[in-house]
């Protein structure tokens, strides 16, 4: 195999009995039995092999080796008397005649037991990530990632897409999340930005005449961490198609995503293509979110007309949403915790009542419902054992609270949530515009470069006041898998006239569009093809395939939740000379 080993630690079988072999790996464990017998476990990338030391002199050599040292042993393979069916090499053992230390572990105490590293604190794991990755349970996610990325490349190439890399140093973009800025040494006072996505470059590739593009693209956003989002950098399967419609892009991605989830997913059941398409407004009404988890069979209904005037103050003048849960058997303590958790996450308090076995409405706000009991029971289809969760507030707030409540109820009631599957759908027809929370004025809702449904005509009508701009939808779409946004995309606005008109509605004129997006605007003026694309998130995809709850478990060297690399000690201070070279003066120090 190589000069340092004849076999890997996961390779030997009964067919190798009697052979003289050399293995190299890490000393995972050493168990001594008396003065002349010991059992050592050697681990490498491929598995583990047990070595039985029966030589007193050799045992002395092993005693002087700390666990996790890298060693090489040479010995003879024999059949084990006590086999281990849980181990791939459990039918054999190696009787070594020599041991050589290749890389000594100089510490008697490890920060954690490698095979139990996932029980350690996150910062400890990340500080010693190279040890954490020795754990086969941690390593398997990185192997999965490699295999999935290779499959994505194969599938995209088979569909005629050309892999093209785009620049990492680029211009700061005025929309989206915060940029990571890089000072330009040769241009004092100016900065590059790391790309939040290759959005403009891939559209320029379409204008340049490339028909189908993709890359496994690194993206950089200065965002706060979440369980499903890592700060700093992430990767996406970035793709774009010329002369393509929304249906074309969705069809291609369905032909890639479904087989990947069937081949690599933790669950056998995967939504077959074509995936269900749900309009944004319908998703908000039925699920309270544009990222619905369709594994949960609960739906939200609007009960504003039914419950708005029952004399319960939080409902008066507000939108009221309801979720009916059948066969509900949670305790009052569980209900109280549910409501508290929803209020923390949604920022609004939910309400509730239930129907007991005698058919009476009890608990929560039940006393306010007695005058309209018959209407409530009929409208909601209530039966004994039903629980009704309620959310109230302005429409958007009521939808959000109901959406959080629906997910929490699904988790609390297993019969209403079929977890072991991948439920995949598209959310389509996103609103083009919204009223900004801070500005109180019209702003783009999502991607400003999306083609509006209705093109130039609908924008001109909105400009004249003939159409409410908030009613305009865009050819934008999200792929949602088990409640996680897993891809976003759009049909692009490739016509400069339509682009300028779209920006004029948010108070930006042609001169400002040219100034903010000079390359794209000028390129489109040379004749751009209609084009569309999307970008599934690779990290999130691997998280779903592996069944992990934290995205950091599928990233080789992730940052912690504070966007720190505790292993490499980044970010860190730099020397005054380095700052001077890039014309930077530090005026404030980080608080201790």
Q: In the structure, how many helices (H) and strands (E) does the chain have?
A: 18, 22
Q: What is the pLDDT at residue 227?
A: 72
Contact 352, 364 (CB under 8 A): yes
Q: What is the mean pLDDT of residues 436-462?
A: 91
Percent of the chain with pLDDT over 70: 99
Contact 157, 213 (CB under 8 A): no
Contact 403, 287 (CB under 8 A): yes
Q: What is the pLDDT at residue 588?
A: 73
Rounded to whole angstroms, the Cα distance separating 258 from 422 reads: 10
Rounded to whole angstroms, the Cα distance separating 29 from 32 reads: 10
Q: What is the pLDDT at residue 1?
A: 67
What is the layout of strands, in order, in the sheet containing 387-393? 300-302, 319-325, 387-393, 351-355, 361-362
The CATH homologous superfamily for domain 138-271+425-556 is Bira Bifunctional Protein; Domain 2 (3.30.930.10)
- If one counts every other C-beta atom within 10 angstroms of the C-beta of residue 285, the result is 17
Q: What is the pLDDT at residue 175?
A: 60
Second CATH level (architecture) for the domain 296-417: 2-Layer Sandwich (3.30)
Residue, of 83 and 590, whose pLDDT is higher: 83
Residue 176 has pLDDT above 70, yes or no: no
Lookup result for tokens 């702003």? 443
Q: What is the mean pLDDT of residues 296-305?
A: 97
What is the DSSP secondary structure assignment for residue 69, as one 8-state letter?
A: -
Q: HEC string of 495-514?
A: CHHHHHHHHHCCCCCHHHHH
Q: What is the pLDDT at residue 589?
A: 67
Domain positions in the chain: 14-103, 138-271+425-556, 296-417
Mean pLDDT across the chain: 94
Q: What is the mean pLDDT of residues 447-473?
A: 94
In DSSP terms, 565 is beta-bridged to 570
By the 10 Å C-beta count (0-12 exposed, 13-18 middle, 19+ buried), 272 is classed as exposed
Q: What is the pLDDT at residue 253?
A: 98
Q: What is the mean pLDDT of residues 488-494?
A: 96
Q: What is the mean pLDDT of residues 565-583?
A: 93
Residue 505 has pLDDT above 70, yes or no: yes
Q: Which of 59-68, 241-250, 437-446 has the lowest mean pLDDT?
A: 437-446
Rounded to whole angstroms, the Cα distance separating 319 from 276 reads: 28
Question: In the structure, what pLDDT confidence band is assigned to residue 411 with cuts at 50, 70 and 90?
Answer: very high
Q: What is the pLDDT at residue 121?
A: 95
Structure confidence by residue, pLDDT tens digits, 517-549:
888 899 999 999 999 999 999 999 999 999 999
Residue 591 has pLDDT above 60, yes or no: no
Structure confidence by residue, pLDDT tens digits, 35-88:
789 999 999 999 999 999 998 899 999 999 999 999 999 999 999 999 999 999
Residue 444 has pLDDT above 70, yes or no: yes
Rounded to whole angstroms, the Cα distance separating 60 from 97 reads: 13
Residue by residue, DSSP assigns 329-360 as ---HHHHHHHHHHHHHHHSS--EEEEE-TTS-
Second CATH level (architecture) for the domain 14-103: Beta Barrel (2.40)
Structure confidence by residue, pLDDT tens digits, 12-24:
999 999 999 999 9
Q: What is the pLDDT at residue 174?
A: 65
Question: In the structure, what pLDDT confidence band is assigned to residue 456 with cuts at 50, 70 and 90?
Answer: very high
Residue 269 has pLDDT above 60, yes or no: yes
Q: What is the pLDDT at residue 102?
A: 97
Structure confidence by residue, pLDDT tens digits, 194-234:
999 999 999 999 999 999 999 999 999 998 877 778 888 99
Residue 502 has pLDDT above 80, yes or no: yes
């Amino acid at each position: 195999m190589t000069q340092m080993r004849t076999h890997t630690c996961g390779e030997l079988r009964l067919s190798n009995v009697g052979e003289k072999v050399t293995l190299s790996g890490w000393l995972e464990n050493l168990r001594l039995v008396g003065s002349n017998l010991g059992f050592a476990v050697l681990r490498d990338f491929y598995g583990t092999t047990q070595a039985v030391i029966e030589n007193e002199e050799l045992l002395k050599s092993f005693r002087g080796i700390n666990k996790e040292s890298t060693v090489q042993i040479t010995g003879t393979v024999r059949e084990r008397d006590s086999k281990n069916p849980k181990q791939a090499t459990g039918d054999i053992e190696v009787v070594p005649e020599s041991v050589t230390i290749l890389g000594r572990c100089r510490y008697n105490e490890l920060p954690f037991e490698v095979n139990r590293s996932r029980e350690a604190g996150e910062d400890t794991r990340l500080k010693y990530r190279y040890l954490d990755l020795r754990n086969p349970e941690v390593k398997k996610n990185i192997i999965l990632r490699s295999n999935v990325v290779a499959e994505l490349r194969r599938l995209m190439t088979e569909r005629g897409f050309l892999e093209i890399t785009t620049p990492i140093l680029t211009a700061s973009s005025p929309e989206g999340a915060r940029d990571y800025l890089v000072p330009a040494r040769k241009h004092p006072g100016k900065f590059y930005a790391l790309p939040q996505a290759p959005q403009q470059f891939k559209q320029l590739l379409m204008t340049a005449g490339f028909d189908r593009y993709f890359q496994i693209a690194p993206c950089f956003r200065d965002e706060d961490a979440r369980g499903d989002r890592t700060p700093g950098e992430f990767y996406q399967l970035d793709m774009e198609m010329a002369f393509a419609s929304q249906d074309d892009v969705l069809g291609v991605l369905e032909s890639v995503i479904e087989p990947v989830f069937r081949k690599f997913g933790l669950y056998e059941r995967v939504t077959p293509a074509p995936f269900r398409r749900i309009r944004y407004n319908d998703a908000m009404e039925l699920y309270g979110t544009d990222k619905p988890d369709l594994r949960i069979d609960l739906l939200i209904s609007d009960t504003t007309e039914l419950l708005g005037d029952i004399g319960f103050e939080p409902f008066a003048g507000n939108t009221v949403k309801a979720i009916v849960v059948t066969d509900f058997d949670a305790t009052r303590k569980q209900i109280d915790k549910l409501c508290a958790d929803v209020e923390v996450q949604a920022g609004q308090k939910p309400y509730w009542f239930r129907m007991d076995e005698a058919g009476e409405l009890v608990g929560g706000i039940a006393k306010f419902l007695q005058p309209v009991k018959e209407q409530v029971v009929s409208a909601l289809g209530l039966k004994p054992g039903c629980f009704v969760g309620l959310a109230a507030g302005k429409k958007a707030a009521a939808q959000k609270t109901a959406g959080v409540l629906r997910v929490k109820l699904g988790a609390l009631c297993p019969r209403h949530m079929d977890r072991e599957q991948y439920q995949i759908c598209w959310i389509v027809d996103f609103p083009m515009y919204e009223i900004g929370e801070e500005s109180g004025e019209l702003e783009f809702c999502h991607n400003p470069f999306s083609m509006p449904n209705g093109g130039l005509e609908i924008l001109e009508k909105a400009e004249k006041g003939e159409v409410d701009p908030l009613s305009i939808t865009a050819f934008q779409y999200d792929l949602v898998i088990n409640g996680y946004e897993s891809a976003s995309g759009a049909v692009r606005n490739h016509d400069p006239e339509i682009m300028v008109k779209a920006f004029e509605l948010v108070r930006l004129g042609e001169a400002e569009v040219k100034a903010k997006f000079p390359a794209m605007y000028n390129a489109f003026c040379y004749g751009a093809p209609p084009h569309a694309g999307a970008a599934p998130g690779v990290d999130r995809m691997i998280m779903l395939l592996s069944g992990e709850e934290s995205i950091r478990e599928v990233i080789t060297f992730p940052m912690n939740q504070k966007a720190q690399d505790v292993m490499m000690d980044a970010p860190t201070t730099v020397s005054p000379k380095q700052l001077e070279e890039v014309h930077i003066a530090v005026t404030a120090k980080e608080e201790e």
